[in-house]
Amino acid sequence: MTDTEALRAAMIEAAERQLAESADHDIATRAVCEAVGVTQPVLYRLFGDKRGLLDAVADHGYERYAALKAAEEQTDDPVADLRAGWDNHMRFARDNPALYQLMFTPRPWSHSTARDRVFDLLVAALMRCAATGALTLEPRTAARLILSANIGLALNHIADPALFGDPTLSHRMRDTVFARVLTETTAREEADPLHAAALRLRAQLELAGTDALEPVETALLLHWLERITRPDGTAG
């Protein structure tokens, strides 16, 4: 790590610590600089401004989140792993309320990629479910539903833990949303067989690929499968 990288990391750590300790979950750039022992022009050189520093803190929060996800045990049951992922997401929010709010509360001026990268992690988990035939929607649509519910409940819990702190509420929300996007074996038999087969084949191609087709042929097949599994059923 270079001196500049070390200084940048120290300032991100100081900003995150101040964010967690402040009553309004905000930071003061002067206090961050004083904590590290540098002048404010150094902050402007490394981050551009306060907004850039907050973006860096949010993206560092994603790295912590991703590390926790990587440490989760991946079993042979992707649906069970998905349920555990919901619970671990809620745990991360409870353990890091200020950081979580920074990562997931919309900020129109933000250039942080944390929220999008968390979405991609969820899509990858749902792709595993789709490959086993356990998903009723295409993975990105399912991810939008799940993450909207997960983030909404987590932010409400942070804002009003007395009202939203009951742990059974999280499980009820999880099970309600999952009932919409997941299917049991008995339900799979009643579903549109073409749609179900396309979902599963598309997920398996995305995960493992195939040597039987040229790359351009695989891309065309994925395009056709995407049209079959599109939520509105349109061809355009």
Q: Give 135's strand partners.
A: 182
Q: What's residue 189's pLDDT?
A: 44
Query: Would you say 169 and 153 are in contact if contact means Cβ atoms under 8 Å apart?
Result: yes
How much of the chain, in percent, has pLDDT values that exceed 90? 63
* pLDDT per residue as tens digits for the range 1-38: 788 999 999 999 999 999 999 888 889 999 999 999 99
Q: What's residue 54's pLDDT?
A: 96
| For residues 137-147, average pLDDT | 94
Q: Which uninterrupted H or E stretch holds 139?
A: helix 139-159
Query: Would you say 15 and 57 are in contact if contact means Cβ atoms under 8 Å apart?
Result: yes
Structure tokens at 33: 């600089």
**CA nearest 57: which of 115, 5, 13?**
13
Give the C-alpha separation, 1 to 40, whole Å.
22
User: Quick one: how far is CA 152 from the chain centroid?
Assistant: 13
Q: To 5 degrees, how large is the angle CA 51–CA 53–CA 55?
A: 70
Q: Which residue type sits at 170?
A: S
